[in-house]
């Protein structure tokens, strides 16, 4: 799989998550009504970021297969007045939805949540899910 195929598979899986928090993607237009809610800080939201990592050769005995590793990160933004529970709930639901999946030649592994804290008027958590794909 190349990076475009990996990103596409991860976006499809993420778009099927059972949460009700809006999910945005890097370098894609935000709908006007959601953009207004974000600017007014009236709704929680999540942004998915694709972070490709190393390509490692794996020899099968007859040929070399490239394995691509990386991280898909979800930046979770919750209103400052809502406390930490909302962010951790979103992280748990998204993490359980994305981790330990087999998506064709792509497999996702464990997830971890990192507290960023207050950032630009939001409380932020980063959820990271590691992946590996074969070509």
Domain boundaries, the chain: 3-28+43-57+65-134
- What pLDDT is attached to residue 98? 97
- What pLDDT is attached to residue 14? 95
- What pLDDT is attached to residue 26? 86
- What pLDDT is attached to residue 104? 94
- What pLDDT is attached to residue 65? 86
| DSSP H or E stretch at residue 93 | helix 85-98
Whole-prediction pTM value?
0.90
Nearest residue to 48 (alpha-carbon basis) of 18, 19, 67, 27: 27
The mean pLDDT value for 35-45 works out to 90
CATH of domain 3-28+43-57+65-134: 3.30.2000.20
């Amino acid at each position: 799989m190349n990076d475009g195929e990996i990103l596409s598979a991860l976006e499809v899986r993420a778009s099927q998550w059972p949460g009700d928090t809006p999910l945005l993607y890097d370098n894609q237009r935000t709908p006007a009504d959601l953009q207004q809610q974000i600017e007014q800080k009236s709704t929680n939201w999540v942004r998915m970021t694709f972070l490709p990592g190393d390509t490692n050769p794996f020899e099968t005995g007859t040929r070399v297969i490239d394995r691509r590793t990386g991280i898909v990160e979800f930046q979770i933004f919750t209103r400052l007045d809502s406390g930490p529970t909302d962010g951790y709930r979103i992280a748990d639901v998204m993490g359980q939805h994305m981790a330990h999946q087999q998506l064709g030649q792509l497999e996702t592994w464990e997830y971890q949540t990192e507290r960023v804290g207050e950032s630009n008027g939001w409380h932020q958590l980063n959820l990271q899910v590691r992946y590996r794909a074969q070509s």
